[in-house]
Amino acid sequence: MEQNKNRQPLDGIKVVDLTRVLSGPFCTALLSDLGAEIIKIEPPTGDEYRHVGPFRAGESALFTLINRNKKGAVADLKNPGHLNRVLELAREADVFVENFKPGVADRLGVGYEAVRAINPDIVYASISGFGQSGENSQLPAYDLVVQAMSGMMAITGEADGEPTKVGESIADLVAGLYGSWAILAALFDRQRTGLGVHLDVAMLDCLFSLMPTPVAQWMFSGEAPGRVGNRHPLSTPFGSFSARDGRVIIAVLNNRQFSALCVAMGRPEIAEDPRFRSDEERTRHEPALRDLIESWLSGQTVESAIDTLSGAGIPASPVLEMRDVLARASRGERQLLQTQQHPRLGPVPAMMQPVRASAWARPEPNTAPELGEHDDELFG
């Protein structure tokens, strides 16, 4: 049977989106990329991200990127008439997403029980910092706080340096990603059972789930791992090394690759050194091995080293600056960035969802809505 390549997997799915800032809007943006109709409800003052720069012509770049492909409406949930409007939208929706502090949605009249009362099979997702219950549930949930409490900062940075955050709001983003994943699973489950569900997505839980390596280090030893800089905590050589004109990433995961590295450096005998005969021994003697590798690299440019290593089948790369990454994303065949037409800014970049499917349409991105742009359409 010939596949219809104009379809999107979430065509016909309606999502009421009461989220703001990053975790929730990223979750619903991912759903919108797959064809879901996202109805973004904002307070009269707008989503906080409308007021976070960088700006051009009064428009926030962050808000524009994260709220693509959505319809926008304004509702003051403390106004009974506005609350009823939102509940009427929820009555016809498949999914309801909020990322208020736990308890706030209930107080505003849009909590799970209130929405389920009018739409029993709703898929309702609550995204928060520390979950809907538990000792930390009422703590403020900024990304940096979650990174600090997750242990992610404790294992990031140089061994003799201070804990370092990841260079992006990773806790917000991974919570949004897990939220979209859970919503899709819930929609599939509802198709089989006819039952809705309340999803409790905690930023801390989601970020912790991305750390199997430190858990594995602790698992048998009982000792918590610390920071090791840019090298891998369990495999060596696996990290960043200094060449004549920059840094080279070398990623060796087994003895075969290590032997190939030694040959590529013109030092095949190193592979027979008792200090380096296994991954565990190489990691134990990492400083000595690093000295040998960087002694070779001192006579190599980044480009020549990567040519030699890649030719030998050894995973290697330069450390690209963000300007180079952005240039590649804009012109590359994978279309990580496309151009969208903004009514006030003209053509601006749009981030695309990264998964490519043989039978799904990849439509042109639509820009984020103006505040209250679709009030008339949604509320009459």
Report the distance separating Cα 22 and Cα 64, nearest Å: 12
- Judging by DSSP bridges, how do beta strands 14-17 and 95-98 pair with one another? parallel
Whose structure tokens read 């090791």? 228
Report the distance separating Cα 138 and Cα 117, nearest Å: 26
Amino acid at 294: E
Whose structure tokens read 């379809």? 7
Q: Which active-site residues does the annotation give?
A: 232
Report the distance separating Cα 188 and Cα 277, nearest Å: 49
The candidate with the shortest Cα–Cα distance to 34, out of 68, 72, 71, is 68
Residues whose CB falls within 8 Å of the CB of residue 135, separated by 6 or more in sequence, listed in order: none
Amino acid at 206: C
Three-state DSSP at 330 gives helix
Amino acid at 108: L
For residue 226, how many other CB atoms are within 10 A of its CB?
13
